[in-house]
């Protein structure tokens, strides 16, 4: 018996990388899977439908059930079409894994509107499109699972990724509100920030031995490490886990904190500009969050 027997799952961006491993594991756990991937490059350009077909073939060869879908998640109507395709093929929809993504890295002073819009469209609007399409079905059946992918590029920060970081922090936001909106219907929504070697981070420069060693360690963080927690969050046992942000880094699973006030200052007279500089800044500055990038917060080698 699998942990996802009789469940129907949609996995976006499932042709390669993390999405592929999630689709394969979910199928091996008994889920029927709609494998969505338009087969684009890391930048989102191009189209190769064979990548989705291959994952479907691999699932079927292992005795599972799957169908392919080649639509872009960035178009609102495609979310509706995917959910309907899953229902037509398998009779229901139980799990949506929003994994599809692209990269268009550029420093903020050089980023084009198109680079911004495209990344926001696939990651953030794509997550909304799929969520909006599935939510009425989940509400009616009083069950369902949303599993969305964020990134430390948004949760912590990375240089040159304003579009990607904004989208990924936005995904943490939509996931929390989805969890709140759907809680009364026994529907959960959780976020995962994955660390894994994929095409999307395969462009990291290796100009010296230190960088080569770092990339070597990153390559050991295979996408297969991410799939078990995604499958778990889709299972019945995770019915009481919602609104959380998890990280997976090699064989390490972590739970992220979420923003809450850590210091406050009160003045019965209200605050003048000068008083803020003299009092509030002085009171707060030892607790300011440092201007870190993801690798500052995770400087240690992954446990693989």
Average pLDDT for the chain: 92
Query: What is the per-residue pLDDT across 64-113, written as a single tens digit (0 to 9) for each?
Result: 999 999 999 999 999 999 999 999 999 999 999 999 999 999 999 999 99
Q: What is the CA radius of gyration of the chain?
A: 21
Q: 46 or 17: whose pLDDT is higher?
A: 17
Sequence spans of domains, the chain: 8-258
From the list 204, 92, 103, 117, the residue with the least C-alpha distance to 154 is 103
Each residue of 188-231: pLDDT tens digit? 999 999 987 654 455 555 567 766 666 666 667 788 999 999 99
Please tell me the distance from the alpha carbon of residue 17 to that of residue 246, in angstroms, as a whole number. Answer: 19
Q: What is the pLDDT of residue 11?
A: 98
pLDDT of residue 46: 67
CATH superfamily of 8-258: NAD(P)-binding Rossmann-like Domain (3.40.50.720)
Catalytic residue list contains 164: yes
DSSP letter, residue 121 = I
pLDDT in tens, 14-30: 999 999 999 999 999 99
The model's pLDDT over 153-186, given as tens digits with 9 standing for 90+, comes to 999 999 999 999 999 999 999 999 999 999 999 9
Q: Would you state the pLDDT for residue 198?
A: 54
**Catalytic member of 70, 164, 185, 266:** 164
The whole-number pLDDT of residue 298 equals 87
- In total, the chain counts a number of residues equal to 304
CA separation, residue 287 to residues 108, 172, 207, 262, 283 (Å): 27, 23, 36, 8, 8
**What's the pLDDT score for residue 196?**
76
Give CA 194 to chain center in angstroms. 7
């Amino acid at each position: 018996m699998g942990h996802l027997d009789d469940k129907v799952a949609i996995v976006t961006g499932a042709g390669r990388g993390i999405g592929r491993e999630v689709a394969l594991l979910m199928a091996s756990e008994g889920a029927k899977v709609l494998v969505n991937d338009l087969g684009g490059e890391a930048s989102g350009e191009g189209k190769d439908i064979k990548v989705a077909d291959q994952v479907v073939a691999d699932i079927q060869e292992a005795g599972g059930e799957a169908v392919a879908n080649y639509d872009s998640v960035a178009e609102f109507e495609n979310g509706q079409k995917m959910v309907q395709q899953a229902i037509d093929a398998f009779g229901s929809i139980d799990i949506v894994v929003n994994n599809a993504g692209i990269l268009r890295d550029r420093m903020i002073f050089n980023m084009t509107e198109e680079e911004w819009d495209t990344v926001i469209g696939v990651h953030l609007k794509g997550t909304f499109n799929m969520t909006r399409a599935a939510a009425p079905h989940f509400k009616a059946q009083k069950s369902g699972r949303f599993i969305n992918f964020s990134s430390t590029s948004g949760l912590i920060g990375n240089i040159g990724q304003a579009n990607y970081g904004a989208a990924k922090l936005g995904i943490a936001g939509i996931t929390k509100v989805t969890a709140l909106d759907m809680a009364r219907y026994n529907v959960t929504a959780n976020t995962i920030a994955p660390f894994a070697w994929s095409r999307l981070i395969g462009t990291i420069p290796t100009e010296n031995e230190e960088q080569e060693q770092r990339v070597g360690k990153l390559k050991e963080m295979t996408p297969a490490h991410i799939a078990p927690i995604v499958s778990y969050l889709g299972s019945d046992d995770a019915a009481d886990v919602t609104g959380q942000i998890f990280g997976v880094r090699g064989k390490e699973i972590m739970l992220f904190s979420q923003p809450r006030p850590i210091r406050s200052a009160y003045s019965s007279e209200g605050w003048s500009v000068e008083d803020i500089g003299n009092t509030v800044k002085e009171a707060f500055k030892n607790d300011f969050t440092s201007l870190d990038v993801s690798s500052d917060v995770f400087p240690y080698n992954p446990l693989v």
